[in-house]
Structure 1
Amino acid sequence: MIFTQIWAFLSNPVNWSGPEGIPVRLLEHLGYTAIVILIALAIALPLGAIIGHTRRGAWLVIGVANASRALPTLGLLTLMVLLLGLGFLPAVIVLVILAIPPILTATYAGIRGVSPTVVDAARGMGMPEWQILLTVELPIAMPIVLGGLRSAILQVVATATVAAYIALGGLGRFLLDGLALRDYGQMAVGAILVAALAIAIDLLFLAFGTRKPKPAQKAPETTTQLILTREKES
């Protein structure tokens, strides 16, 4: 029975130690995810912010979002391996391509959705465009941007298992090795660990996203709040 096999795998101390143990595979999976998300953020966040602020290049956001739905992950990974060979780089490229669209579209939508009145008020105060983007539009758009980041992280966590197909580590090793050995308990444990990791990350986002600051820890008035206050007064 599958539950007996799962328990047998989890209760075996060998599976919790060494370079192929669950803690090491979990750290590898988190490491892949962190590297991919940082690269995707460095590309998608400034690009989406600039497009949203200038209102130019929206076709790029729409094109990237639509194209991402049609890309087969394993097919793209196979192509990257044929072009670049085995190693970490092909997996990173594929996962970054997967992570960019949610962050790009969310950043664009968040910046694009900022009230024009607020932006005009900032310009009326003599702010340069870069300062308006960084201190006015981005803070207002941050909840939507974080929603895109959350979506990207969950997608990468779920898809980083493909790294095992090109001889890398991560939780995908349990799926691939279990399939090769017909060890269905190991495969089930791998799937459970990936799902549990995604749920844990999602709960962290929910916890930090709904946390309210204490009255005693009220932050000083930001540029955005100042502009909003002046707008109401006028």
Structure 2
Amino acid sequence: MCHDAEQSFNKIGPNIAALPPKRSIFSFYMMAAIYKMCYFLRIFSQTLLSMQPIQMADAVKCSVSIGSVVESQWRELVFKDSNQKEMMFLERSLVSNAEELQSEIADFVLELQKNSSPNTKWVVDYLRNTRVIYTIEVASLQDMQIAQRLQTEIWLKVNGILQSDIEGFRDELGYLVVASETTLQGVQRVALLKDERWVRFSINTADEIQRRSFLAGEVPMGIAIHAIG
């Protein structure tokens, strides 16, 4: 795994363990991003709602080790399968408490501003009002499905927008609003902001016209609209 986790820990529950804090997960996020060692999924939330580790463990059928606690709230979790193999790591970070996280959001904003999608301003505005970032780190695509399930479970609890290094950004209803052009694939539920209203529809990214239209900020001709508002 791309995260250097402690191997020994003290059990404090059937699916939860306590790990002595070692190093900030954030340093591993930065190193992994540079060397492309891991994949990342994030939830950017404007609320301070949280989810208990035992709830997450039950949702994804994994055991959980608590890496560190800040002000009585968990900050770092390690998820393992039934063979105690490390599958993914989760960090919950308050943006206001860390300059590096504010810098991380600034980096996302900088990249988004290079994107021609009309949705980027909405995403940028949302990021600038983010209070908590949940970051899931997964080393193998084989574990991506479980990581996505964890991301969804947290998202349903805390609200917010979703981000994936593979897909891009999804809005509060789960529609893709800013896509990663190089890895966009499959049938996708997408949304475009038109005249301050969301137009929601689905595209087949294998259809070049539908794909290019969405990336250009246009609703493809003849497409069925899910909702406007």
* TM-score, structure 1 as length reference: 0.24
Which structure shows the bigger proportion of residues in helix conformation? 1
User: Which of the two has higher C-alpha Rg?
Assistant: 1
Higher relative contact order (CA 8 A, sep 6+): 1
* TM-score calculated relative to the size of structure 2: 0.25
